[in-house]
Structure 1
Amino acid sequence: MATVSNSAAVSHVGKIRSNNQDSGYSGRHLFVVADGMGGHAGGDVASAIATKRIVEADQDYRSPQDAEFALQAALIAANSQLAETVFEHPELTGMGTTVSALIVLEDEVAIAHIGDSRIYLLREGVLSQITIDHTFVQRLVDSGRITEQEAMVHPRRSVLMRVLGDVEASPEIDTSILATFSGDRWLICSDGLSGVVSNVGIAAALKSDLDAQAVADRLVKESLDGGAPDNVTIVVVDIGTGAERVDLPTVVGSASAPLAFGEEPGRSRALRMSSLRLHPVRETHFEPDSQDYLSELIEEDNRRARRRKITWLVGIILLVLAIVGAAVLGYRWTQTRYFVGVEGSTVAIYQGIQQDLGPISLSSLYEDTNLEVSELRVFDRQQVEQTISASSLTDALLIVERLHDASVQ
């Protein structure tokens, strides 16, 4: 029977943001990453509220189906709690959070997911992304409008289409039940990791012989080395066999601190909102039923069509220029060569090479020497009739001079 043999949770503010809006949890059965949105006004609050509520689902279950239902119910309850918080504290309007969570129950895992945090699985050295991002650009990728590479730099890559927050009473949550085996390594992370470190880099870290804590620390470092423009939260879960571990639950990120927001004694809203970032950061935001979605798809198609036409046109122009350039250079080279041959009944010097390119001759008469072919020795006459190559004009003149001297003798 497979069990959780090792796990770790790490969260880092990153190099640019002024506060940590992520939360993470590594428990007995339950593992969660939540990435808050809404800026300094509420992202940290949203992820903390959601995580604290979802943590209540870290219990024993009779079946994976029970665990799946409990996890989904916990996310819905967290969504309601966020809506109530916004109602009581209007200054937090617009806050929300992504959530990616899994419960390990013997040989199976129950998964619940909303937003763009991710769950990965490393099995037998192969990394798989288990969850699908609920983002605007992912819809464009799924519909074939853009490629994965284009999605990485798309101007609306930070737009979320589904989150927990104060907008929808019953948000659509992806849930599933998957088998897990001894040797599996699960990774839950915020986009602070997946948006900076490539899948190749993530796989390399997960495939190492390091324990869960060391792997999580390594991935955080790689994100920091890549600039870490966003908060980074990572939960690593190793599946093994034998007795379950007895580690204490670990809470990281904003959920690890006392929840504090709104007008409170000793902490005014003005003070809470006054923190400034040292550098501009692209904020994640939520557009549940974006009215611009269809027009954006059409415009994206038009942009791709224009890019394809421009790319083809530029490619054709470059190819033509390359062919013309090669032809010009090749022709110029042929005109540096000479050969001695026959012009009518006399010996002549030709510029170029003894070949034609279709209807185009690559040689021309340079000089008629007035030396009669009939006056040449038999051997020299045969050579001239077959043409004698010369590396330069000087060489050609020397050949004619030798033929002339031999004919006189």
Structure 2
Amino acid sequence: MRFSVYQESHIGGRKVNQDRMGYSFTRDAILLLLADGMGGHILGEMAAAIAMQTIGSLFQQQAQPFIARPERFLEDSFLAAHQEIHRYRAMNNLPETPRTTIVACLIQNGYAYWAHCGDSRLYWMRQGQILLRTKDHSRLETLIAQGKVDPAERHTHPDRNKLFNCLGAPNSPIVELSRRAALQPGDLILLCSDGLWSMLPDYMLAQKLHENTIVRAIPELIRSAVSIAGKQSDNATALVMMWEGDDRLEDSSIISTNTLPIGSITTTIQVQIDPDIPVENGEPDMFNDAEIEKAIAEIRNAIHKSSRITSKT
């Protein structure tokens, strides 16, 4: 496999960045993940972190070096993350369960499979055109589908932030799965939080990513979204992968997994976070200096083991 990947997040005008993003890959499979902790509930950032940890850990356990049943993996891992978030609430006797949206994409054998809960989106783009994007699990999208609201009201309607599906809710989430998508060289897979897509029209996302490299386009799009939203801007996060199908290309920004030994994994997903960590003064001490240094060391070690692969994060 050959691909390029770039990810970036901006806290915006919020006190806490509740978005989480990351990717993992083996010789034959790639997992892209993005979660947006829901600010209307307590500890949204913890729900997002637990979801990332759970799904990322399951990928590392099962991708040997690929996932045998991609759709089943996505559904089961989402449900496992949902259960872990509820377990965290019970262990810490919280008044309510933290919640998060989630979107994931699994790529192997030249095909992409994705799933989502909530309004964190995935876009599949080719030659500046959007082939498909996920549909938000929101009250507004339901009204639009029923013909009761004009699509032009997406950015102004009062129900635009009302979600009916997420991880951590009282009921089990509805995991919406995609069909298998055959990728072509140059195809883009973009995962992003609503802090990005709610401020910028879809055509602008596609245009900027078509006209510029992913390393240049994503920072520009995030800056634009935060600037348009102003002082009350939401966290804005994006993770994008460009699929490369020609092994003859030589480019230091392109990751090639062909030399990876079976069993090795490279990841930017922090999987050392333990949901059993108690809450002190209402906040979990998840990211102390020692844990951050450990995560960095693990990532560097994984990159070193994978023949000095160069990636941008």
Match of 1:234 in 2: 238
Match of 1:5 in 2: 3
Secondary structure at the aligned position of 2:165 is classed as: coil
Are the counterparts in 2 of residues 117 and 191 from structure 1 also a CA contact under 8 Å?
yes
Kindly provide the CA deviation profile for residues 374-403 of structure 1, in whole angstroms up to 9, marking residues without a partner as x: xxxxxxxxxxxxxxxxxxxxxxxxxxxxxx
Kindly provide the CA deviation profile for residues 257-298 of structure 1, in whole angstroms up to 9, marking residues without a partner as x: 88797543xxx22899xxxxxxxxxxxxxxxxxxxxxxxxxx
Cα 1:18/1:257, change in 2 over 3 Å: farther
Larger Rg: 1
Shift of 1:256: 9.6
The reply to whether residue 216 of structure 1 matches residue 218 of structure 2 is yes
Distance 1:152 1:61 in 2: 43
- Structure 1 regions of 5+ residues with no counterpart? 273-409
Secondary structure at the aligned position of 1:26 is classed as: strand
Cα 1:20/1:92, change in 2 over 3 Å: farther
Worse overlay, 42-51 or 124-133: 124-133
The reply to whether residue 174 of structure 1 matches residue 176 of structure 2 is yes
Cα 1:250/1:64, change in 2 over 3 Å: closer
Shift of 1:72: 1.3
Match of 1:42 in 2: 43
Kindly provide the CA deviation profile for residues 322-380 of structure 1, in whole angstroms up to 9, marking residues without a partner as x: xxxxxxxxxxxxxxxxxxxxxxxxxxxxxxxxxxxxxxxxxxxxxxxxxxxxxxxxxxx
Distance 2:169 2:41 in 1: 17
Distance 1:89 1:157 in 2: 32
Shift of 1:222: 1.6
Equivalent position amino acid for 1:49 in 2: I
Secondary structure at the aligned position of 1:165 is classed as: coil
Cα 1:159/1:94, change in 2 over 3 Å: farther
Cα 1:92/1:43, change in 2 over 3 Å: farther
Secondary structure at the aligned position of 2:47 is classed as: helix
Are the counterparts in 1 of residues 123 and 134 from structure 2 also a CA contact under 8 Å?
yes
Distance 2:208 2:108 in 1: 25
Distance 1:208 1:18 in 2: 33
Match of 1:347 in 2: none
Distance 2:55 2:266 in 1: 17
Distance 1:238 1:188 in 2: 12
Are the counterparts in 1 of residues 185 and 244 from structure 2 also a CA contact under 8 Å?
yes
| Equivalent position to 2:109, from 91, 106, 129 | 106
Shift of 1:110: 1.3
Match of 2:15 in 1: 18
Q: Greater relative contact order (Cα 8 A, min sep 6): structure 1 or 2?
A: 2
Distance 2:31 2:228 in 1: 30
Equivalent position amino acid for 1:237 in 2: M
Are the counterparts in 1 of residues 226 and 234 from structure 2 also a CA contact under 8 Å?
no
The reply to whether residue 73 of structure 1 matches residue 91 of structure 2 is no
Equivalent position amino acid for 1:250 in 2: T
Shift of 1:62: 8.0
Q: How many residues are aligned here?
A: 262
Distance 1:142 1:61 in 2: 40
Distance 2:277 2:198 in 1: 29
Match of 2:157 in 1: 154
Match of 2:124 in 1: 121
Structure 1 outlier segments of 4+, above 3 Å: 58-65, 245-248, 255-263
Distance 1:222 1:233 in 2: 12
Distance 2:272 2:37 in 1: 14
**As a proportion of its length, which structure holds more helix?**
1
Distance 1:142 1:4 in 2: 38
Cα 1:142/1:4, change in 2 over 3 Å: farther
Shift of 1:209: 3.4
Match of 1:249 in 2: 267
Give the CA RMSD over aligned residues.
2.8
Match of 2:32 in 1: 31
Match of 1:186 in 2: 189
Distance 1:258 1:85 in 2: 9
- Structure 2 regions of 5+ residues with no counterpart? 248-255, 286-313
Distance 1:35 1:232 in 2: 9
Cα 1:190/1:198, change in 2 over 3 Å: same
**TM-score normalised by length of structure 1:** 0.59
Q: What is the percentage of aligned positions where both structures have the same residue?
A: 27
Kindly provide the CA deviation profile for residues 32-65 of structure 1, in whole angstroms up to 9, marking residues without a partner as x: 1111114472110110000111112155368777
Are the counterparts in 2 of residues 115 and 134 from structure 1 also a CA contact under 8 Å?
yes
